[in-house]
Amino acid sequence: MSKAFENEFFKNLGLLSKEQQSKVLAYIKTLLKTPPSSSHELLRFAGSIDKAEVEKMRAAIEAGCGNIDKNEW
């Protein structure tokens, strides 16, 4: 990190309220979390749910799709 960038960053950070500074820190921490590099990482989960469970989920989705509960809202 260049010294000029560091100076500008901390100068501006000091202008923020404590709450805003906390938000900046939280945002930086989210940037540091490494997202999956590709969908290939999901392949390790392929086949981890047995076919009977998949069928139950499919049936539940089909049974519930298109149904509107007017009293829900």
Summarize pLDDT for 29-48 with one digit per residue, the tens. Answer: 988 887 766 777 778 788 88
Domain that holds residue 18: 3-64
Give the integer Cα–Cα distance in Å for 19 and 54: 45
Q: Domain for residue 72, yes or no?
A: no
Q: Domain for residue 54, yes or no?
A: yes
The predicted pLDDT at position 13 comes to 95
Q: Domain for residue 13, yes or no?
A: yes
Q: Domain for residue 29, yes or no?
A: yes
Q: Domain for residue 69, yes or no?
A: no
Give the integer Cα–Cα distance in Å for 39 and 34: 14
Give the integer Cα–Cα distance in Å for 38 and 50: 24
Predicted confidence band of residue 49 (pLDDT cuts 50, 70, 90): confident
Q: Domain for residue 59, yes or no?
A: yes
pLDDT of residue 6 exceeding 90, the answer is yes
pTM of the predicted model as reported, rounded to 2 decimal places: 0.45
Q: Please tell me the total count of domains within the chain.
A: 1
The CA-atom distances, in angstroms, between 72 and each of 10, 12, 65, 69 are 49, 47, 15, 5
Six-digit token pair at 11? 């100068």
